[in-house]
Structure 1
Amino acid sequence: MTTELRVLDAAEWDAWYGTLELAFGGVPESPEERRLWQDLTEHERSIGVWDGESCVGTAGAFTFRMSVPGGAIVPTAGVTMVSVAATHRRRGILSSMMRRQLDDVRAWGEPLAVLTASEPEIYGRFGYGIATYQTRATIDTTRVRLTVPEGTDEVVLRQADPAKAAAAREAVYARLVPRRPGMLARRPEWERLPLLDPEGERGGASPQHCVLAERDGEVIGYALYAIKPEWSHTGSDGAVVLKDLGALDPAAEAALWRFLCSIDLTSSVRFHSRPVDDAWQHLVSDIRRCSPTQKDSMHLRLVEVGAALEARTYQAPVDVVFEVEDAFCPWNEGRWRLTGDAKGAVCVCTDEAADLSLSVRELGAAYLGGTSLVSLAAAGRVRELRDGALVEASVAFGSPVAPWLPHGF
Structure 2
Amino acid sequence: MKSFHRPLSITRALPALLFFFLLFSCVTAVRAEEELGEPYRPRLETEYIIPVIYYDGSLYALLYGRMSSVLRDRELQFFLWADQEAGVFNYVLGYTRHNYKWSTGINLYSMPVSVGPVWASGVWENQTGISFLAAYRRTNETRFTFRLQWEKFFPYFVASSFPEDPDEGALLGWEVKAVKDNFSFLAQKGTRAYISLGGAFPFLNTGYQYLKVEEDWRRYYPLNRRVSAIFSLRGGKIWGDYPSHRGFFIGGIQQANMSGLGNLVNQGTLWALADSTLRGYPLFRFSSDGFLLGNLELRALLYPSSYYELRFFGLIGTVFVDAGQVYKGSQALSAGLPAAWGAGLKFFIGGLLVGVDYAVPMEQGAMPRWHISLGEVF
- Structure 1 length normalisation: TM-score? 0.28
Q: Which has the higher strand share?
A: 2
Q: Which has the higher helix share?
A: 1
Q: Bigger relative contact order, structure 1 or 2, given CA contacts below 8 A and separation 6+?
A: 1
